Structure 1
Amino acid sequence: MRPIEHFPLFARILHWLMAAMILVMLFIGIIMVSTVEPAYHRLIDLHRPLGICILLLAVVRLVNRLLMRIPPLPETLPPALRLAARTSHIVLYALMIAMPLVGWGMLSAEAYPVVMWSDFALPPILPHDPTLFAILRGLHTWLALTLFGAVLVHLAAALMHGLLLRDDVLPSMTGGRRHRAVDDPAS
């Protein structure tokens, strides 16, 4: 079976949509912690439903990823970088799912509703418990910092593949043209 050259269009759309949503969410979170009333409440009103949307899309993306074939990593990639690529993707998926769940649990523990829109709020997933709220709030912050770091590493790896290695990893996710080897007769 011939290897595929690009991620399927649906996977690429999910990837770039979620990348934008996660960056927006991280910046909303950063601004939120340094903002006062009433801007804080407007930001939180964006933060909660966006987090739940990220959670839902992450689950869709994970299921899609488990069901589809993906382009192989280049043969020239050293084993350590192959392991780093696989590990970083596992970490990113775990964070995309854990962050919103911890946030939802944190709000549930403080008895705050997760309002998706004016007449619809999600049910609590944990009982009201101020101690649990404090623990989850700290965990949510650390997960956010970890996600920010993982996004930076992911971006650095994409730039490394696109600008330094000039291999087919970045074009496989952008849908762009694949690089041809110098000795490739098709070039």
Structure 2
Amino acid sequence: MNQSMNQTQNTSFSLIARMLHWLMAIGILSMLFIGVGMVTSVSEKHNWLLAVHKPLGALLLLLVCLRLIVRMIKGTPPLPADLPGWQKRAALASHWLLYLLMFTMPLIGWAMVSASGTPVTLAGGWTLPPIAPDNANVFAVLRSTHRYLAYLLFATVLLHLAAGLFHGLIRRDGVLESMTRNRA
């Protein structure tokens, strides 16, 4: 690649992509901790946590859809040319796994709540329509699936964080900075 092309190529994610990334990071970590609090609490806090968890999950579903649209329109900066091929493949696979989990977790949660016969009520009293039949067996399968996918999401988030820190602190190759500031 010639020098002039290199200078004009954007090496950072767009501002909207960076904002969505960090907003979703806060939301997802909050959801994971709220979820742990919900399953370990038998007090009145359980109902409060559940009342926060449902609309936050719906918001994250909306945000991940928006994020995918932004990614398709704006693209992503290239990974460093000297990055080994297996690391490039691992980065691509882990990002798509994150997207898959960010999309499926709220859908499975919504279906699980639907199967329990309980509505998902959002701010302003809006209620989402049920997307699964009111059925105890379906609820049990979806609840178990939601739990195990939450473990996978947490592990994938930790791997993503470790990779970001590896790029930022050890390789110092600009990958972390592409999501923390504009380096166009």
TM over 0.5: yes
- Partner SS state of residue 68, structure 2: helix
Shift of 1:66: 1.1
Query: 2:40 aligns to what SS in structure 1?
Result: coil
Matched, 1:140 2:154: no
Cα distance in 2, alignment partners of residues 31 and 111 from structure 1:
22
Unaligned runs of 5+ in 2: none
- RMSD, matched Cα: 1.3
SS in 2 for 1:53: helix
- Aligned-pair CA distance for 1:175: 0.6
> Greater CA deviation, 91-100 or 27-36?
27-36
* Residue-by-residue CA offset, 1:111-154 (whole Å, 9 max, x unaligned): 11101135221110111111100000000001100000000000
2: distance between equivalents of 1:177 and 1:120?
41
Aligned counterpart, 1:10: 16
Which of 147, 160, 165 is the equivalent residue of 1:159? 165
SS at match of 2:133: coil
Percent sequence identity over aligned pairs? 49
Match of 1:33, SS? helix
Q: How many residues align?
A: 178
1:64-143 mapped onto 2 (5 Å cutoff): 64-117=70-123, 119-143=125-149
Match of 1:57 in 2: 63
Letter aligned with residue 106 of structure 1:
M
Consecutive unaligned residues of structure 1, counting only runs of 5 or more, are 179-187
- What is the distance in 2 between the residues matched to 1:45 and 1:10? 28
* TM-superposition CA deviations, 1:12-55 (whole Å, max 9, x none): 00000000000011000011111112100000000000000000
